[in-house]
Structure 1
Amino acid sequence: MPVFGILFVEAHGRTVPFFGLFTLPAFVGKNHGVQEVFAFLHFWGGIAVILLLIAHVGGAVRHELRGERMIRRMLPGRRST
């Protein structure tokens, strides 16, 4: 996802600073068609990550509610039973 965001900004004709230390080299030139593709990929990639996170947390809660105590086994300092 960060790659699509960087390429989207570059296709818009802007430079991408790297935490104020230096500017990333341009991988693509200014191009409206390419910009739309990377905007689409960046947006839907973000939606996919959010949905996967929700599913993952939901699965962990489901295991906990079923009495499987998965979360306790993953925490540091706990012994597996």
Structure 2
Amino acid sequence: MNGSPVIAQIRARLEAAFAPTALEILDEGHKHAGHAGEGKGHFHVRIVSAAFAGQLPLKRHRMIYAALEGLMDNGIHALSIDAKTE
């Protein structure tokens, strides 16, 4: 697991908001070298939570962005999300 302080913040917020049964946060900055910020702050989240039941993918993403409010553009430059119920 990556020891990044940003990943720790993402993990803490998502665990508190969604009580996930699975949560994986990947630092994908290496895939974006040469882009704005030299690839820093690019993350991928895979999360499984009952909190997403009955929600369309767009709503699930909005729920995650709301939980990460303040980190977007302040540690997170780009975020890809895979949010499921099982």
Give the alignment's TM-score, normalised by structure 2.
Answer: 0.24
| Greater RCO, 1 or 2 (C-alpha within 8 Å, sep 6+) | 2
Q: Which has the higher helix share?
A: 1
Larger Rg: 1
